[in-house]
């Protein structure tokens, strides 16, 4: 990858995020984003394997990462999931299991195993820091148990209304998270650009901020979800917009994914 035209383009387009990134997976993501001209992570919230397979085949060219909720799939089997992950890799997608781990380090480590063996196929996972910073070491050990490597996205903010992640809590998550090499970045609230700007100021340039709560139709979503505009989220400091129903709920997921890709890419070019 070193010296390839895409790497040079990524360095120019991402600027300080590229030059100060310490994490190789972050660079992998930034390069794929440039190749596809998309800062979109698909939230593949579909309940059956065939729907997931169909979705990834349709939108793969327009997205830069894949987010899963493995425990909401009704007909999950290890074999079919393995094949699905291979499909994602064929599209050069990092696989991000949004498990929101929150237990003590030792248990989080074991939860990377179990039936779903999340540590064996995920590149990224989400975690709350409510139990303290040892959760990051636990999750890192969880990948280590499979001889794999991964990065943690810590929830610094959430997109849902009334959430309890207040600014003091956010500050502590950022303060502890930026020091840890096992932390890939932070989850920020994509629905509120002004909150995101504050988060970016605190995080600095080194770590990623990925943001759910993004939709081209801004406003309130189902059950307390809130939506902001993808271009505005990127302009405010988001490095990746996480989009679920805006893509998988559309009549034509592929053209919708392309619209989100264009909106997010425009944000990066103007940032």
Residues that bind ligand 5BU (CB under 6 A): 43, 45, 69, 98, 126, 155, 158-160, 187, 212-213, 221, 225, 242-246
Place of tokens 């919708």: 256
Beta strands in 179-260 (DSSP E): 183-187, 208-211, 219-220, 226-227, 240-243
Query: Residues 27, 36, 100, 197: which is the catalytic one?
Result: 100
Q: What share of the chain is helix, strand, coil (3-state, %, to 5)?
A: 50, 15, 35
Smallest separation, CB 239 to ligand 5BU (Å): 15
Q: What angle do CA 149, 170, 40 make, to 5 degrees?
A: 55
Residues whose CB is less than 8 angstroms from the CB of residue 233 and which lie 6 or more positions away in sequence, other chains included: 190, 193, 196, 211, 214, 241, 264, 267
Please tell me whether residue 5 adopts helix, strand or coil conformation. Answer: helix
Here the tokens at position 79 are 């074999």
Smallest separation, CB 62 to ligand 5BU (Å): 15
Smallest separation, CB 211 to ligand 5BU (Å): 8
Here the tokens at position 235 are 């302009």
**Which of residues 15 and 249 has its CB atom nearest to ligand 5BU in the complex?**
249
Residue with the CB atom nearest ligand 5BU in the bound state? 244
Residues whose CB is less than 8 angstroms from the CB of residue 1 and which lie 6 or more positions away in sequence, other chains included: 7, 28, 31
Contact by Cβ (8 Å): 228, 191: yes
Smallest separation, CB 154 to ligand 5BU (Å): 10
Smallest separation, CB 232 to ligand 5BU (Å): 15
Contact by Cβ (8 Å): 53, 87: yes
**Which of residues 11 and 58 has its CB atom nearest to ligand 5BU in the complex?**
58
**Which of residues 27 and 207 has its CB atom nearest to ligand 5BU in the complex?**
207
CA distances from 131 to 101, 102, 103, 187 (A): 10, 6, 6, 17
**Which of residues 21 and 43 has its CB atom nearest to ligand 5BU in the complex?**
43
**Which of residues 31 and 98 has its CB atom nearest to ligand 5BU in the complex?**
98
Mark whether 100 is an active-site residue.
yes
Active site residues: 100
């Amino acid at each position: 990858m070193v010296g390839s035209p895409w790497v040079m383009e990524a360095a120019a387009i991402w600027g300080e995020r590229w030059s100060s990134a310490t994490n190789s997976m972050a660079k992998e993501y930034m390069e794929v984003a440039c190749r596809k001209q998309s800062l979109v992570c698909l939230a593949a919230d579909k309940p059956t394997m065939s729907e997931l397979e169909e979705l990834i085949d349709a939108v793969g060219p327009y997205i830069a990462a894949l987010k899963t909720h493995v425990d909401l799939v009704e007909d999950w089997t290890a074999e079919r999931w393995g094949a699905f992950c291979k499909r994602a890799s064929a599209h050069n997608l990092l696989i991000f299991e949004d498990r929101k781990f929150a237990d003590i380090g030792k248990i989080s480590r074991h939860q990377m195993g179990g039936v779903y063996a999340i540590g064996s196929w995920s590149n990224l996972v989400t975690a709350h820091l409510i139990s303290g910073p040892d959760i990051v070491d636990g999750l890192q050990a969880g990948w280590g148990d499979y001889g794999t490597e991964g990065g943690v996205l810590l929830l610094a903010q959430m997109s849902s209304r009334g959430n309890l992640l207040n600014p003091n809590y956010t500050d502590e998550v950022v303060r502890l998270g930026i020091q840890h090499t096992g932390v890939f970045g932070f989850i920020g609230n994509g629905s509120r650009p002004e909150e995101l700007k504050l988060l970016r100021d605190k995080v600095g340039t080194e770590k990623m901020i990925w943001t759910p709560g993004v939709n081209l139709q801004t406003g309130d979503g189902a059950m307390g979800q809130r939506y902001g505009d993808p271009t505005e989220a990127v302009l405010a400091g988001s490095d990746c917009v996480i989009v679920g129903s805006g893509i998988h709920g559309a009549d034509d997921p592929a053209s919708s994914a392309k619209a989100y890709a264009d909106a997010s890419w425009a944000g990066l070019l103007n940032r």
